[in-house]
Structure 1
Amino acid sequence: MENNIKIKWGIVGLGNIAQQFASELQLIESAELCAVASRNISKAQDFANQFQCPKAYGSYDELFHDENIDILYIATPHDSHAELTIKALQNNKHVLCEKPLALHYNDVLQMINTAKKHNKFFMEAFWTRFNPSIRETLEHIQNGSIGEVKYVNADFAITFENPDNTRMTDIKLGGGALMDIGVYPLFLAYLILGKPQEILAKSNFHATGADTQTSIILQYEKAQAVLHASFLYTSNVEATISGTKGRINLDPLWFMTESYSLTQGDQKTKFDRPTLGKGYTYEIEECHACLRANKMESELWSHQNSLELSAIVEEVKNQIGLVYS
């Protein structure tokens, strides 16, 4: 794909996160939103009008068959990610799919295998991975700035209005703290420490069976991670990475942070890294870079990364007794 040609995007599922993503697409000169799809044509048309998008479809299949589209952003609820991603890939579309990729590890494996079979780019939309502060944090760790990492602590607890009547408690849609926001702290621990040797997890539950708060300890040979997620109350939404020579503190909200600090002994250095837009822009640019280089996956967040994180989530799910049909 030539560098001077705009990359044509389509969006599948037009909820709140799709609204944010479409806004961020407008900040990228090389991106063009060309089509959107909803199961409700009126909703699709309203969305298209809002973002000056030329095509609106009342079914996902119509968008899958649009030959003008280069890459699709899957922004539907978790339970439909696997089915829609596989259909999109089978119709020769590159895919960026919202996290978590699926409710079950085997579905993630099938999604990746389908992408490989059809020779299409496929990535999980873990936008935090491409955040400038997160990338610099990894550089500090790799350069030995804080020594050997011994401890990661990350929380993500925010209050949702009327959670009894939202997808957060709808088990059929993949609701629950773990799948919606708990994957973020797990992602950070995995990004820094890799696969744990042992996982310990406990949860409290809603009447629907969705977890309302989940706490997790990841045990490594020489390190630990302590993580927490809930949608019933607020927390600091901070993250700390501690090593033998110092620590890094990611300022709130850490998963979309625009600043962090590096502490070494008595010296504390603050780094301000403002993001372009909310920060989805960086994963969009990564998709573009991969497509122009004819890559099937990102080196920064690979298929293997998604598989390994999915396996961790699956074990947490099994330990707390979270069941999706």
Structure 2
Amino acid sequence: MTEESVRWGILATGGIAAAFTAELVDLPDAEVVAVASRTEESAKAFAERFGIPRAYGDWEELAHDEDVDVVYVATPHAAHRAAAGMCLSAGRNVLCEKAFTLNAREAEELVALARERGSFLMEAMWMYCNPLIRRLAGLVRDGAVGEVRSVHADFGLAGPFPPSHRLRDPAQGGGALLDLGVYPVSFAQLLLGEPADVSARAVLSDEGVDLQTAALLSWEGGALASVHCSVVGGTATTASVTGSQGRIDIPYGFFHTDRFVLHRDGRDPEEFTTGPADRGSLKHEALEVMRALRAGETESPLVPLDGTLAVMRTLDAIRDQVGVRYPSETELSPA
């Protein structure tokens, strides 16, 4: 890593990789120096699109590129363990898309590897890096709504998605929960931590992945969270936090919001907003990675690894109850 810039490698060339890279190339202190795909043709096309100097048709070549400071892993989540593990083993720092892995066991393996190597590792939970979500979490911590009593969050896409789509493919970790449900669960746990109990129901596809899932999370202090995700219906995709002295409402697109409203008992509603350029922006997670690398940190306080592991345990508990297993799994981690 140079004083002037952080050198990025991009592993995978799909839609989220393109969206993230488009943000990176506009950051003055970020330099995208390499990209890898399973095919050289795909890597070269991606490199030409974004002006990236090196294109690899093999993940391992990128993992061993010593000019790369950090690798962004953007594969489907079924490949996260292998891709991120390869990069960490080769001495690279890693930003890995969510869901972080297929299950908590794989996540624990990656975290242990990163800590053993002294490498930086972070889940690409851009919601946690969003300026307004950070502001909201700070208000809740400071007691703006009193003691949190309940959280609600949902994320649903209308579809329909054919059986061949990755969202329906068990081999790629398909289903609503890992792709979309990770956001409502992560939002609830950002505010309340890991739940003490999980109760879940789902509708499964013929392929055995969840088409829609609902879960009730509960905490020993009495707080509850209702979370829902779907790939068969476009939901409101909103969130709310209700406390003993008020409520916060987040409109459509809660996980990349540019607006929320604080309702406090006995006061007029307060609207919090940010610039339109921040809505839908992935740059904040990139900036956090670069800040942490320059500071010599091996994990981010905004997206701590223990928090990522806790979310994965909750996702495991939900899948265990609804009966979703992926081909590579023998068992889930204990809830």
TM superposition score normalised by structure 2: 0.94
Summarize deviations over 1:145-200 as a string: whole Å, max 9, x none. 11001000001011235332310000010000011001100001111111111100
Summarize deviations over 1:80-107 as a string: whole Å, max 9, x none. 1001111101111000000111112111
Alpha-carbon distance between aligned partners in 1 of 2:173 and 2:291, rounded to the nearest angstrom = 31
Is 1:284 aligned with 2:286?
yes
- The match for 1:267 is 268
Alpha-carbon distance between aligned partners in 2 of 1:123 and 1:288, rounded to the nearest angstrom = 11
Alpha-carbon distance between aligned partners in 1 of 2:162 and 2:244, rounded to the nearest angstrom = 41
- The match for 1:100 is 99
One-letter amino acid of the counterpart of residue 309, structure 1: V
**Contact kept in structure 2, 1:34 and 1:54, CA below 8 Å:** yes
Find the residue that maps to 1:204 and give its secondary structure: strand
- The match for 1:238 is 238
One-letter amino acid of the counterpart of residue 129, structure 2: F
Cα RMSD (Å) of the superposition? 1.2
Alpha-carbon distance between aligned partners in 2 of 1:163 and 1:20, rounded to the nearest angstrom = 24
Find the residue that maps to 1:163 and give its secondary structure: coil
Alpha-carbon distance between aligned partners in 1 of 2:26 and 2:89, rounded to the nearest angstrom = 30
Distance 1:198 1:162, change over 3 A: closer
**Contact kept in structure 1, 2:130 and 2:256, CA below 8 Å:** yes
Alpha-carbon distance between aligned partners in 1 of 2:26 and 2:225, rounded to the nearest angstrom = 36
- The match for 1:175 is 174
- The match for 1:316 is 318
Alpha-carbon distance between aligned partners in 1 of 2:264 and 2:68, rounded to the nearest angstrom = 49
1:138-287 aligned at under 5 Å gives the runs: 138-221=137-220, 222-265=222-265, 266-274=267-275, 275-276=277-278, 278-287=280-289
Alpha-carbon distance between aligned partners in 2 of 1:145 and 1:307, rounded to the nearest angstrom = 28
**Contact kept in structure 2, 1:248 and 1:261, CA below 8 Å:** yes
**Contact kept in structure 2, 1:27 and 1:281, CA below 8 Å:** no
Deviates more, 1:161-170 or 1:78-87: 161-170
Find the residue that maps to 1:305 and give its secondary structure: helix
1:298-309 aligned at under 5 Å gives the runs: 298-309=300-311
Find the residue that maps to 1:200 and give its secondary structure: strand
- The match for 2:61 is 62
Alpha-carbon distance between aligned partners in 1 of 2:279 and 2:54, rounded to the nearest angstrom = 25
Deviation at 1:144, TM superposition (A): 1.1
- The match for 2:333 is none
Summarize deviations over 1:281-302 as a string: whole Å, max 9, x none. 1110110011001111011111
Alpha-carbon distance between aligned partners in 1 of 2:184 and 2:93, rounded to the nearest angstrom = 27
1:71-110 aligned at under 5 Å gives the runs: 71-110=70-109
One-letter amino acid of the counterpart of residue 269, structure 2: K
**Contact kept in structure 2, 1:24 and 1:278, CA below 8 Å:** no
Identity of aligned residues (%): 35
One-letter amino acid of the counterpart of residue 5, structure 2: K
Find the residue that maps to 2:178 and give its secondary structure: helix
Find the residue that maps to 1:164 and give its secondary structure: coil
Alpha-carbon distance between aligned partners in 1 of 2:41 and 2:279, rounded to the nearest angstrom = 28
Alpha-carbon distance between aligned partners in 1 of 2:103 and 2:242, rounded to the nearest angstrom = 32
**Contact kept in structure 1, 2:257 and 2:280, CA below 8 Å:** no
Find the residue that maps to 2:182 and give its secondary structure: helix
Q: How many residues align?
A: 324
TM superposition score normalised by structure 1: 0.97
- The match for 2:330 is none
One-letter amino acid of the counterpart of residue 239, structure 1: A
